[in-house]
Structure 1
Amino acid sequence: MLDYDRFATEQGKVMQRTRQDAVDGLLPEERERLILERLRAQGRVLASELAAEFQTSEHTVRRHLRELADQGHCKRVYGGALLISPAGVDASVRMHEAVDRKACLAVVAASIVRPKQIILLDTGSTNVAIAAALPDNADLTVVTNSPEACARLLNRPGFDIILVGGRIARHAAGATGATALLQIQQIKADLCFLGACAFDPDEGVAAFDAEEAELKRAMVQASSQVAIAVTSEKLMTAAPFYVAPARAVDHLFVEADVTAARRAQLAAVCDNVMVARS
């Protein structure tokens, strides 16, 4: 049986939104497209700033952000939204993306390693590049859950390699699950190169898989220092599973195209922000 009072209320809301959109001077689809473009350009948007720019209400902007989040474009956060990280694709794809840029990051990241250290090396295409960038005769113990990283170190002098076992997650191309977690919890590392699917100064480090996020948290706990080398498209983005706060990162390596203003935001929460220049 039709609830006429509820129907009338809903129709009234629709008419109210239509009138508001007409006053705003932009069709809802146009405004939503502009918000998505802003998200892709900046990573983070604030509802109050968008409302002022589009001369509309924050309620209207939040409605657009909810719709974009439902479509998988962003994650709602306090006051606005973050772009979803593009790193959710399988590792087999990421290994062939931005190879030169990752190699540049890897050289700078490898420069902080010191002889005799125990290094925890997480999965990720940038971390595989770091494995390749470590110098021969480095006198390091490298503990990794990444078969790809292990392959870059085999038959090279100066490395004692420990490959963490367990179920291999295809999307991450590395060991995960209970077996890998137990092994990581028994390690005391000097330095961890942590793989980050997404990084934001306020939201911290995040991952796309729950088990992977749990293993990354264990790596942070097992290490005296944490380092992350991150390509620019992962900055100011979100992923579903929380790993650690940004302040847990001791060394952050970013690309040269990161603006001075954004570097200042990152430096406010990370002890050392280093720029990889080609």
Structure 2
Amino acid sequence: MATNSIDIAGAALRRQDLKLIMLGGTVDLAVGGCVDATAIGSLSQMNIDRSFLGVCSVSPTSGLSAFDIADATFKRALLAASGYTIALATTNKLEVRAPHRVSEISEIGCSVLEHDAPINHLDDLVRAGANIVKALQPF
């Protein structure tokens, strides 16, 4: 398992069955991980079977986007190195617009959205080429 996220690395350390690779560089506090040239360089040397991509904005017209240009650049590099990408987005990401495009919605293997995602947003995303999976409602 490889990550650039400090929080995800911390959670993975509790698992004895995982080998953790931390993509380094300068930690961007707003992003919560490393997204600089050092992290992108490390990422570009990897063959990634499956990636999980957190996104700042999901739109049927502008696709997946990020607020920070370095974060968007890192995410584009992750997509390029990955065989299959799963985008993860909370419902509030469906109603926000971020300035830095990461990818078209149709370039993502599937997008996992929360159980309460409005049906009209889901329909628009599916028409744009998204493969949507809704997360189960928490107990």
1:165, CA displacement in angstroms?
0.4
SS at 1:206 equivalent: strand
Greater per-residue helix proportion: 1
1:224, CA displacement in angstroms?
0.7
Residue 145 of structure 1 is matched in structure 2 by 4
Residue 192 of structure 1 is matched in structure 2 by 51
Residue 243 of structure 1 is matched in structure 2 by 102
SS at 2:79 equivalent: helix
- For 1:195 and 1:252, how far apart are their aligned partners in 2? 10
1:261 paired to 2:107: no
1:260, CA displacement in angstroms?
2.8
| 1:1-278 matches, cutoff 5 A | 142-268=1-127, 269-270=129-130, 272-278=131-137
- For 1:261 and 1:197, how far apart are their aligned partners in 2? 19
- For 2:117 and 2:132, how far apart are their aligned partners in 1? 11
Q: Over aligned residue pairs, what C-alpha RMSD do you find?
A: 1.3
Greater per-residue strand proportion: 2
| 4+ aligned runs moved over 6 Å, structure 1 | none
Which one-letter code corresponds to 2:93 in the other structure? Answer: K
Percentage identity across paired residues of the two chains:
29
Which has the greater radius of gyration? 1
Alpha-carbon contact 1:201-1:236 (below 8 Å) kept: no
SS at 2:125 equivalent: helix
TM-score (norm 1): 0.47
1:264, CA displacement in angstroms?
2.0
- For 1:258 and 1:178, how far apart are their aligned partners in 2? 35
